[in-house]
Every structure is written in C-alpha cells, then in structure tokens.
Amino acid sequence: MDSIAIKGTVRTDLGTKYAKHLRREGQVPCVVYGGEETIHFSAPTLSFRDLVYTSTVHIAKIELDGKEVEAVMQDIQFDPVTDAITHIDFIQLVDGKPVTVNAPVRLNGNARGVRNGGKLKHFMRYVRVKALPENIPASIELDITDLRIGQSIRVSSVEAKGFDILSAANAVIVTIKTARNAVDEEEEDEEGAEGEEGAAAEAATEEASAE
C-alpha cells in the first residue's frame, strides 16, 4: 500500500475556539487514536490532498516533533458550504492489532447492461472492512463487464482476502437499471444467434453455387 508523508504540529490547545483559529490559518485539526496515547495535531490543508482525494487507501506517515506515526484515515469532516476539510480522525497502525477502515470501491469494465442502454447506479462508494495493518486492501475491485440490466452486485459478492467485511451483506453496491432506450438483452442474444446462423447459411449457399 502506498504511503503519504504529512508533517504536522502537536496541538496542546484543544476545543472549538482553537480549532476555528487553526482553520482560518489554513490548518486542519486532526486526532490519532489507537496507540498508547491519543495524539492531537494539525497540518496544512494541502498536505491531505493526495490522502483524501484518491480512489485507494493510503498509509499516512505523520511526522510530529521528530517522531513518525503510521496511521490510516478513519473519518473526515467537510464544511457543508465550502466543502473544505474541517477535521480528520486517524487510527494508528500497530503490529498485530486490526483496524477498521473504509475501502474505496473501484468499478472495472464497461457493463453489458450499460452498452444496451441501461443506467449504472453506484450506491456504495466504500465498503467498511477490518484487517491487520499488512492486510488492509487499497481498494475493493469489482469487474462489472458482464453485469446486465436488472442485475446487481451486493456486498456478499465481494471476495475478502485477509480481511473481514463489516458492511451489511445484502447492501447493493452497484446495479444496472433499465431506461427507455434500453435493448432487451435476451432479444439481442437471439438476434445475434440468428444473424450467425443466417451468415453460415449464406456462406454455404455461395459455396454450393461455386461448385
């Protein structure tokens, strides 16, 4: 899993008043849980660009007063008006201690149902998983190439290797819904088969004529 370096400053003044002051200065208040002690720190907003706006999980290597703490993002809050990052919670990575993270879902392939005029509905952007630090998935990869109109992929279909899935098993991750211009896929299959048979018959006729 890729890592991103973040240089922060330990916070000793806590509370809403000080957090607002930090945000005005372009800093993001953060907290690291899960280690021997809870760590409060802040870092410039731009430091989190590659950590937040990405489709994979990254390890944050946070440098604080000459010491480095490895952690993963647990929760993030945004300003409802400006969409600016207002707070981030991290969970520290400790050998042998599992952590819970939101693994981004990545859809691969061009769904058959979409090619036939259906509409792709991506409901779950993240799947919540629990894993040891070395087994944290960078993302949840789903191949939707063969997904037809009316079909869905649920959490229960995700193959978990080395981690546990905490999201509800029956939750729909992605589905293909019908649309006005959608093609009936069964008819398409039949037409395709008839077309092949017709082509074969035509070829046979041409061969017979040639003889």
Q: Is residue 30 part of a domain?
A: yes
Neighbours of 124 (CB within 10 A): 17
pLDDT confidence of residue 59: 94
Q: Is residue 203 part of a domain?
A: no
- Token pair of 137 as six digits: 């998935």
Higher pLDDT, 53 or 174: 174
Tell me: do 8 and 40 sit in the same domain.
yes
Tell me: do 70 and 135 sit in the same domain.
no
pLDDT digits (tens, 9 = 90+) for 22-67: 999 999 999 999 988 999 999 999 999 989 888 899 999 999 988 9
Q: Is residue 109 part of a domain?
A: yes
Neighbours of 117 (CB within 10 A): 16
Residue 181 has pLDDT above 70, yes or no: no
Tell me: do 117 and 157 sit in the same domain.
yes
Q: Is residue 23 part of a domain?
A: yes
CB 60 within 8 A of CB 70: yes
Residue 169 has pLDDT above 60, yes or no: yes
Tell me: do 28 and 89 sit in the same domain.
yes
Q: Which of 50, 141, 12, 127 is nearest to 60 (CA)?
A: 50
Tell me: do 58 and 106 sit in the same domain.
no
* 59, 93, 127 - which closes a domain: 93
Neighbours of 45 (CB within 10 A): 16
Instruction: Give me the domain span that covers residue 53.
Output: 3-93
* 76, 93, 110 - which closes a domain: 93
Q: Is residue 204 part of a domain?
A: no
pLDDT confidence of residue 193: 47
pLDDT digits (tens, 9 = 90+) for 117-156: 999 999 999 999 999 999 999 999 999 999 999 999 999 9
Residue 206 has pLDDT above 70, yes or no: no
Tell me: do 110 and 63 sit in the same domain.
no
Tell me: do 83 and 110 sit in the same domain.
no
Average confidence score pLDDT of the chain: 87
The count of domains in the chain is: 2
Domain of 108, CATH number, reads 2.170.120.20
Q: Is residue 66 part of a domain?
A: yes
pLDDT band at 68 (very low <50, low <70, confident <90, very high): very high
Backbone phi, psi, residue 88, to 5°: -135, 135
Tell me: do 124 and 84 sit in the same domain.
no
Tell me how far apart the alpha carbons of residues 173 and 161 are, in angstroms, rounded to a whole number.
18
Secondary structure (DSSP) of 77-99: EE-TTT--EEEEEEEE-BTTB-E
Angle at 196 between CA 192 and CA 197, to 5 degrees: 115
- Partners of 69 in beta bridges: 62
pLDDT band at 201 (very low <50, low <70, confident <90, very high): very low
Q: Position of tokens 């010491």?
A: 67
